[in-house]
Amino acid sequence: MRTFITFVTLLLKTWFRSKTSLFFGLALPITLLLVFGTIFGGPSPPSYSLYVRNLDLDGSGGPAPLSKAFIDALNSSVFEVKLLPPDAPPQQSTGFTAVRILTIPQGFTGSLLNASIRTRIDITADTILRFVEMAGENISSEVRANISRGIEGMEDFKQSLVVGNTTLILEGSPDDRILQAIEGILNVIASKFELGLLNASAVLQVKTQFHQIRQLRAVDYYMPGYIAAFIMTNGLLGVSQQFSEYRRRGVIKLLASTPVSKSFWIASIVAVQTIASLVLTSVMILAGWLVFRIAVYPDVFSLAVILLGTLAFTGFGVLIGGVLKEAEAVAALGNTLSFPMMFLSGAFWPLELMPGYLQAAARYMPLYYFHVALRETLVSGSPATAIIPALVVAITAVVATISAVAATKWKDF
């Protein structure tokens, strides 16, 4: 036991003194969490940018009253309105923010006022007719005739009101996935604006109630993904290269010439990697909580998943470092395995964003099951849904560890 503790202590020292280990094991994952969390997953609501080109101008060139009121209504909604001069050229997309332009037609104010008065006339006439019908025989035929003439007069006045173009044009790219949602939001704002002109209010309403099911934010998704991905790189790249380096320097030969067994040596490496993984997880949780208020559930289940993932990827690292003789080949294979997994397993972004064939490919990667199991336990607090991915990680860990012990040469190098 004393030997084991000494080995683990010394190997931990080498880990914490290695700039590469500290960079890949702590600095890079925290940086990625802070950067991508801030860009894509911060606590503020998403903003919808919308350019508005107002062609409805008064005699002095300023916005006519109703178009101005409509723009104010847009501004007080989810939209981040940017006004475009009537003759401004089309805006270019930066590739990250979609360009959407809403054009308010010329004569919008007059047409909308006339249309609103026409609607009021229709409602008034319809209301009077309903009262007359309800009154039935209680209204004399003479009064009925007067009412009928009055309604005809209102109808004549209505016909005299000219309604021009009231259609708002929304321009956007077919690649803009939320353009339809934006059209829907604009329709709701326009309807409320019309009701406001009629001095009416909507009867049908939607009220938001927050339920107890936790909705993950992007940053909640990133954190367990980064933890899993960097536990993987620590194993596949860090351990394999350390093992290869120790062999090249003769350290493995020196140890193999002592009574220490290879299983003992591998167990020491696994213990060190486990401690490094727990340090990484703790620091990520702390950074996530401090900056993004990510609430996680570090419990025995998430701890078990971390241990299994560490065991699996440390096993693969020892296997690579133990089997391949050339340091360059070790680095090449480690990179070849870890980088595609990092980017294609869904650790960094949801699988749903990727094409179907890549989603299918991800399910053959151990890292996929590791980050899913970790997310379910650590962030969602749902160990039941983590059972199957955790089982896959456990099987991988057993296979990797057995292969590592079997393939590591402690003799006949």
Partner 1 sequence: MRSEAIIVSDLVKKYGELTAVDHISFNVFEGDVFSLLGPNGAGKTTTVEILECLRTPTSGDAWIKGLSVRDPKDVRKIKKIIGVLPQEFYAVDNLTVLENVVLAAAAKNSDNVRGVLERLGLWEFRGRRFSTLSGGLKRRVGLAMALVGEPEIVFLDEPTTGLDPEARRETWHLIRELRRSGVTVVLTTHYMEEAERLSDHVAIIVNGRIAAEGEVKNLISRYGGRTTLVFDDIDEEARQHLVDRGFNVEALSGGRSVVRVEGEHEVFEVISYLRSLGYEGYPLIRRGGLEDVFLSVIGSKLSEGGDLI
The residues facing 378 across adjacent strands are none
What distance in Å separates the CA atoms of residue 17 and residue 21, rounded to the nearest whole number? 8
What distance in Å separates the CA atoms of residue 383 and residue 389, rounded to the nearest whole number? 10
Region of 3-11, 144-152, 178-186, 345-353 interacting with partner 1 (CB under 8 A) = 3-11
272 or 397: CB nearest partner 1: 272
Structure tokens at 285: 């949780």
Binding flag, residue 293, partner 1 (CB under 8 A): no
Closest approach of Cβ 28 to partner 1, in Å? 19
Binding flag, residue 406, partner 1 (CB under 8 A): no
Query: Contact, 79 vs 48, CB < 8 A?
Result: yes
13 or 149: CB nearest partner 1: 13
Residues 6+ apart with CB under 8 A from 217: 41, 43, 292
Binding flag, residue 170, partner 1 (CB under 8 A): no
What distance in Å separates the CA atoms of residue 308 and residue 369, rounded to the nearest whole number? 11
Q: What would the DSSP string read from start to end of 11-51?
A: HHHHHHH-HHHHIIIIIHHHHHHHHHHHHHS-SSPP-EEEE
70 or 246: CB nearest partner 1: 246
3 or 282: CB nearest partner 1: 3
Binding flag, residue 325, partner 1 (CB under 8 A): no
Closest approach of Cβ 332 to partner 1, in Å? 22
Binders in 253-292 for partner 1, by CB under 8 A: 253-260
Region of 51-59, 132-140, 143-151, 244-252 interacting with partner 1 (CB under 8 A) = 244-252
Binding mask 17-56 for partner 1 (x = CB under 8 A): xx--------------------------------------
Binding flag, residue 167, partner 1 (CB under 8 A): no
Q: How is residue 379 annotated by DSSP?
A: I
Return left, alpha or beta for 250; rule: phi > 0 is left, psi -120 to 50 is alpha, else beta: left
Binding residues vs partner 1 (CB under 8 A): 2-3, 6-7, 10, 13-14, 17-18, 246, 249-251, 253-260, 411-413
